[in-house]
Amino acid sequence: MNGPIRRVAVVVMLMFLALMLNASYSYVFRTESLSSDPANRRVRDAEFGTDRGDILVGNTPIVTSTPVEDRFGFQRTYNQGRLYAGITGYYSFLYGGSGLERTYSSQLAGTSDVQVLQNIVDAASGRRPQGASLQTTLDARAQQAAAQALGDRPGAVVALDYTTGGVLAMVTSPSFDPNALASHDIAATQTAWQQLNDDPAKPLTNRAVREVYPPGSTFKLVVSAAALESGMTPDTTVASPASLRLPDSTFEMTGDCGGEEVSLRQALQVSCNTAYALLGDQLGADALRRQAEKFGFGSPVMPELNGVPSRFPTDPDRAQTMLSAIGGFDVAASPLQMAMVVAGIANDGVVMEPHVVSQVRGADLNVISTHAPRPLSTAMSGANARALQDMMVSVVENGTGRRAQIPGVRVGGKTGTAVTASAGSGSTRVPYAWFVAFAEDPTVAVAVFVQDAGVDGSEISGGRYAAPVAQAVIEAVR
């Protein structure tokens, strides 16, 4: 009898040992992943009842928590919710979070590793734990101006301080009201969620950082940078035929660029497609891709808002390369990415890392973390960047970007109308209107994307529908 009992005892002891080892391993190594798992309802229940910290624009809370008499104890409230929804996101009992509410959830809830000591002190003194607050880089004037100028047209606006990378404005349209998803009326939040997800306009989509679109002629800035870096100057003469058939294709580009040959400056000023198509063919796809990557293409941007990478085609043939050089074929960029392109040019070739949170501060106002301005890359030399700045100023003063002019302010820009076609197919996508710009005082770079201007496709132009939006944002922060 003793032998079988001992064997059973050994097995039971081994099982207990395995259980203890697994529990210890989970506690030490899996705590963070288990706590952040959206399926972990116990953590969500506990966090939903916490006094989450504020999200601030300047000294004004745009998101705050207020005490209420129900089972949760605090109601998350979004002031001007639709205006800032693309940035703040939502915090919902049923559906978790998005935007800053998700990225900084542990800090806002007061459960991050760096806040443990403060929580112990609070517990010992009988105080209810409070979450940290987020100080954003946003400028309320720029945000309001961008939203008003874009109106109810689908699209996005991004404005950056190109010397720091701080986001001054980020508007995505259509937007939504996060208060509907943060409600403690669970049935109401389910209805709101269903309506938002069924809406064909996709209001939950952040068009500024989470979607990519054909950038049209704004991509000619990348090609211009590659040309200048290859040794060309703004006065270099480039071929600009009135008609150009792409190699091994029936697709034909047309346009009057002011002559069969024009300077690079003139080609950008009038947005000459044939000149840039031939320029792209001359430089080659690899040079264009390398230049695009220096501006940030191919890499995820702004992890705070889960930004997606923009792209340049992997292995285009000659015709596809020529289409890519005018922002067509498979070139696709987010509005944030195009803001980064113009910001890098305006900052003498240095692309700063974009960010929207400058500080995280504890409930005691002590700074937990700070985002110092950080260079992301050097996209081009300072001399060539300044030459391209001058070319962009010519676009606004004498070319397609006249509607962005502001008296007393040096503004450079580039229009774009994204009507793309596959070589030989003749098929086109829905036209989009783009405008990117920079100003010297204030130091702001702006990208405006109008997905649907509400007019016939033949009437769409970036200069007409997007440039005035950029103008309004720049004027707002003067």
Catalytic residues: 217
C-beta separation of 355 from 371 below 8 A:
yes
Query: Rounded to whole angstroms, how far apart are CA atoms 195 and 105?
Result: 25
C-beta separation of 237 from 275 below 8 A:
no
What single-letter DSSP state applies at residue 425?
Answer: T
Containing 61, the helix (H) or strand (E) segment is strand 60-67
Structure tokens, 235: 């006065």
Query: Rounded to whole angstroms, how far apart are CA atoms 143 and 169?
Result: 5
Identity of the residue numbered 400 = T
Containing 447, the helix (H) or strand (E) segment is strand 444-450
Containing 3, the helix (H) or strand (E) segment is helix 2-29
Point out which residues pair with 244 in neighbouring strands.
253
Burial of 302 (0-12, 13-18, 19+ CB in 10 A): buried
Query: Rounded to whole angstroms, how far apart are CA atoms 472 and 170?
Result: 14
C-beta separation of 463 from 402 below 8 A:
yes
Can you tell me which residue has the tokens 């198509």? 277
Give φ, ψ of 274 to 5 degrees. -65, -40
